[in-house]
Amino acid sequence: MRLTLFDLDHTLLDGDSDTLWCDFLIGRGILERQSFAARNADLEKRYKAGTVGVDEFANFYVGTLAGRTPQEWELLRLEFLHVMILPRIGCAAVDLVKRHQNCGDLVLMTTATNRFITELTARHFGIEHLIATEPQLEQECFTGRTVGTLNMREGKVTRLHAWLAHAGRSLTEFDSTAYSDSINDLPLLQAVRHPVAVNPDERLLAEAQSQGWTVMHLPH
C-alpha cells in the first residue's frame, strides 16, 4: 500500500499560507500594518532558514485568530481562499496530487500552518486527510494559542505516527513518499522511503543531492 505526504507551502502552493493570511488581514484592516508586517516578514525569513522556534512561529500566526469564533471568521476565510490561495495553485500541483490519488495512494497533506486556514485548501485538492497545527478553542472562541504537538520539523513525524496508530497502521507498512520544499521538513523526508525535494531551498537541495534524493521543479 502506498502513502503519499504533501507539504503545502512553497510545495503545492506558490507562497506561504501564514504569511498570505497576515497580508490578507492587513489589507482588510484587521491587523495593523506597522506592527505586523515587519514581524511577519522576519518570521518567514527565519522559517525558510530553519532557524525560527516552532512555538514562536506557530503561536504568532495562530494568534491572529484570537477573539473570534470559527463562524465569525468564516466569510473572511472563504474570501482568503479565493483571493489569496487559489490563484497560487498551479495546474502542475493539482495534477501531481491527482496522479497519486488515481493510483490509489493514501494521500495526506501535512503542514505547519494551522488547520483553520488550510483545511479549505486541502479540500480544494480533494485531499481528505490533513495533519496541521491545531488552534485552541475555548467556549467556541479561538484563544490565539495552539494545542497538542506542533506539526513542524520533528513534530510532523510525531503527528504522522500518531495519526497512523489511531487508524491501527504503522509507517513501515507503507511504500511511503513525501514531497517538500523546506529544510524544516528534513525529519519527515528522512522518515519515508521516497523523499522528494520540490523546488527546494538551498539547504534542502544540498541535502537531497548528497543523499541522492529525487529533486523536482514544480511550476506554479
Q: Is 181 known to be catalytic?
A: no
Distance CA 108, CA 130 (A): 6
Q: Residue 129's CB: how many other CB atoms inside 10 A?
A: 14
Strand partners, 2: 175
In angstroms, the Cα distances linking 147 to 5, 110, 132, 208 are 22, 16, 11, 32
The radius of gyration of the chain from alpha carbons, rounded to an integer in Å, stands at 17
- Rounded to whole angstroms, how far apart are CA atoms 136 and 65? 10
- 7 tagged catalytic: yes
Q: What is the three-class DSSP state of 34?
A: helix
Cell, residue 39 = 514581524
Helices vs strands, H then E, count in the chain: 9, 7
Could you say which of 7, 16, 23, 201 is catalytic?
7
Active-site residue numbers? 7, 9
